[in-house]
Structure 1
Amino acid sequence: MMLKKHKIEYTNYGEDVSKIKVITLCGSAKFMKEFKEVEANLSLKGIAVLSPIFFEQSKTSKITKEVAQLLGNMHFRKIELADEIFVMDVGGYIGESTRKEIAFAKSNNKNIRYYSAFISDSTCI
């Protein structure tokens, strides 16, 4: 991942942890690989990263409707806690749930950045 614009720089806040920027990642679970790469890269730049919880469902472990609702609500809370959101719009894809998260972030005056604005064909954020 190569940054195209709006480069995110490393920041060392020393002992003042209250100044550490918090970013919540939003997007489809089908981009789990990209989520992990971005989360690692942002964390190494001194940014606290909040990510969605991804579960792989199997025949023996299914997510109930109630649990899915709880996880969704928890993610909206992560958006509230963040200074901004980083939308994982890999290939330009933004699903319905992510659109709701973007709308929620806008209604809470959060800065919104998009993966597609940072990435070219290379690899490095």
Structure 2
Amino acid sequence: MSSAQLPTAQQRLISVKRDLGLPVVVAICGSTRFMAQMAEADLQETAAGRIVVRPGCNMKEPHELWDTPEKEHALKAKLDDLHRAKIRLADEVLVVGDYIGDSTRSEIDYARALDKPIRYTHPEVDPYGA
């Protein structure tokens, strides 16, 4: 007697999104130095009928939410976790910008581990040359 494999959480999410008739969800990744380009990518992806999730905080700009090293460190950890959740939610990832730093590289590696399709606004920076 063989037991059927239970679907993974990711497989269940895909199924539910399909059952709900949701459009493709795109997670925008990249350095926050490219926030203007992310906004443009958001506009283009939205106009193409996709749901977009992207970084919502630019910690390179001053703000009272991260105006001390302690606040900045705590918020950065929360935001990293939140962005990984956005990647899990997404059907695909769009990497914006012509530079890949450690944080973005980590996001790309995470998306690859989840078998998410990845697009680049600047394909020449793809660290895997795909």
Q: In which range does the TM-score fall when normalised by the shorter chain?
A: 0.7 to 0.9
Matched, 1:44 2:50: no
Range 21-30 or range 58-67, more displaced: 58-67
Pairwise CA RMSD of aligned residues?
1.9
What pairs with 1:41-120 in structure 2 (closer than 5 Å)?
Answer: 41-55=44-58, 56-58=61-63, 61-62=66-67, 63-88=71-96, 90-91=97-98, 93-117=99-123
| Structure 2: tracts of 5 or more residues without a match | 1-18, 124-130
Q: TM-score, normalised by structure 1?
A: 0.73
Structure having the higher Rg: 2
Name the CA distance, whole Å, in 1 between partners of 2:65 and 2:89: 33
- TM-aligned CA distance change 1:70 to 1:116, over 3 Å: same
Range 37-46 or range 50-59, more displaced: 50-59
Q: Secondary structure at the match of 2:88?
A: helix
Q: TM-score, normalised by structure 2?
A: 0.70
Name the CA distance, whole Å, in 2 between partners of 1:59 and 1:36: 22
Name the CA distance, whole Å, in 1 between partners of 2:65 and 2:111: 35
Are the equivalent residues in 1 in contact too, given 2:66–2:72 (CA < 8 A)? no
Runs of at least 4 residues off by over 4 Å: 58-61
Higher relative contact order (CA 8 A, sep 6+): 1
CA offset digits 1:88-109 (Å, max 9, x no partner): 1x23x10100000000001111
Equivalent pairs counted in the alignment come to: 100
Name the CA distance, whole Å, in 2 between partners of 1:64 and 1:34: 24
Name the CA distance, whole Å, in 2 between partners of 1:97 and 1:60: 20
Residue 38 of structure 1 and its aligned partner are, at CA, apart by 0.7
Identify the structure with the greater helix proportion: 2
Residue 57 of structure 1 and its aligned partner are, at CA, apart by 1.8
Same amino acid, percent of matched pairs: 34
